[in-house]
Amino acid sequence: MVMLNIVIFGPPGSGKGTQSVRLAERFNLKHISTGDIFREELANETPLGMEAKKFMNQGLLVPDEVVVGMLGGKLDKCISEGVQGFIFDGFPRTIAQAKALDKLLELKKMELSCVLFLVVGKEELVKRIHLRGKTSGRADDTDDATIKKRIEVYEAETSPVADYYEHKVKKIKGEGSIDEIFEKLTSAVENS
C-alpha cells in the first residue's frame, strides 16, 4: 500500500494548521505539526523544548537537528501505531530541513505525494496572526515586531523550499473562506 504523505507550506498565518486538520480528517492522515510538537516540549519543559523556546521567542527558526530529532521520534511512534499517511504542517522550513525530511522518509521507505503551498498577501497575514493571538493566548502572535520578524525569516529562509520541491508543489491561493480554500486543497491532493 502506498502512503499519502503531504507537506502543507506557507507563511505564518496562512492557514496551514486549520487546513491541515481538515485534510488529515478527509484523507485519514496523521497531522504532524512541528509547532504542536514544540509546544508539547515547552509545556513539559524538556531540554529540547527549552532550547527551542529561546529561538521561538525571538521569531527565529529552531535549529534543524532539534526539529529533525523530534520529528523522527514522532514518525516512528505513529508508524508503530499503524498510521497510513502524514500531513506535515510547519515542516520543512528550510532547504536543509527539506533534504533531511527526504532522507527520513527514504529510510522509512516513504516519499512525499505533494507539497501544498498556501499563498497569502502580507496584510492578510498580519491581520490573521493578530486575530489568532487574541483567541489562542499565544503571546508571539500579539507582538508586531515578532510578527514582522517571523514574516521576514519566512521570506528569507522558508520561501526557497518551494523551489526545492518545484516538481511536487501545488500553489493554492490561501485567501477566501476556509471552505473555499479547503476545496482547492482537496482537489490538488486528489489530482496529485
Start-to-end CA span in the chain (Å) = 17
In the set 30, 150, 170, 184, the catalytic residue is: 150
Catalytic residue among 93, 128, 170, 184: 93
Marked catalytic residue, from 16, 30, 74, 184: 16
Beta-bridge partner residues of 89: 8, 33
Is 150 catalytic? The answer is yes
- Give ∠ CA 89-179-82 in degrees, rounded to 5: 40
Q: Kindly report whether the peptide bond that precedes residue 92 is cis, defined as omega within 30 degrees of 0.
A: yes
Q: Identify the burial level of 12 via C-beta atoms within 10 angstroms of its C-beta, where 0-12 means exposed, 13-18 middle and 19 or more buried.
A: buried
Q: Is 22 labeled as catalytic in the residue annotation?
A: no
Q: Which one is catalytic: 54, 77, 134, 138?
A: 138
Residue 101 is classified by DSSP as: H
26 labelled catalytic: no
Among residues 53, 108, 132, 171, the one annotated as catalytic is 132
With contact defined as beta carbons under 8 Å apart, do 169 and 112 qualify? no
Beta bridge partners of 8: 89, 116
Task: Indicate the residue type of 23.
Answer: L
Q: How far is residue 184 from each of residues 51, 187, 190, measured CA to CA in Å?
A: 37, 5, 10
Residues with active-site annotation:
16, 93, 132, 138, 150
